[in-house]
Amino acid sequence: MKVGLVYYGGQYNHLILKNVKYLGADIEVTPPHKPVEELKKFDCVIFSGGPYSVSEEIQKMGNSPLYIKELKVPMLGICLGHQLIAYVLGGVVRRALNPEYGLTRINIFDEDTILKGFSQQLNVWESHNDEVVEPPSGFRVLASSANARVQAMANSSNSIFGVQFHPEVKHTERGIEIFKNFLGVCRK
């Protein structure tokens, strides 16, 4: 299985690579300006975090909107990637009223695929100024926190996921399991 990691300059990118490799998948970092045809070799795609504001700096995302609209493979967005997926598919992203940094407790109310077998609460690592306030049509909210309503989301076919937090950081409880669950979707 080959995983593409679209890199936006996030500080934890190397940890995504480490986790996915640890789980036995082949992963390749790709910049966001590659033609969409070059990403069709991947079985699934992860969109990393990064320092940009989707609603204000979409031009810095390269061809990513095309990737999200044209690729027919499972996708996982992390932080900025989560916001990008929501924005491109018609959700609402804005500056967070209460940005979250550091350890945050989220409430899980729909286990779905990537959160399968998790308890109702989870401590996760956050680092965001923007947030998804409305998921795109056809998506459901899987988890929320006191400050962010859309901490995790999934589309109706369980093939496109987003998490506002960073599962790759060791402070996120069971973060490796989120990647394991996502790779399970990729293998189907």
Instruction: List the catalytic residues.
Output: 79, 166, 168
**Token digits of residue 78:** 């992390």
Low-confidence ranges of the chain (pLDDT < 50): none
In the chain, what are the domain boundaries?
A: 2-187
Distances (CA, A) of 2 to 132, 148, 154: 28, 32, 22
CB-based contact 148:92 (threshold 8 Å): no
Residue 93: φ, ψ to 5°? -125, 135
Contact 151, 165 (CB under 8 A): yes
DSSP assignment string, 53-93: -HHHHGGGGTTHHHHHHH--S-EEEETHHHHHHHHHTT-EE
Say what the pTM is.
0.95
Q: Name the superfamily (CATH) of residues 2-187.
A: Class I glutamine amidotransferase (GATase) domain (3.40.50.880)
pLDDT in tens, 58-84: 888 889 998 999 999 999 999 999 999
Whole-number pLDDT of residue 95 = 84
CA atoms within 13 A on the CB side of 100: 22
- C-alpha span between 152 and 184 (Å, rounded): 18
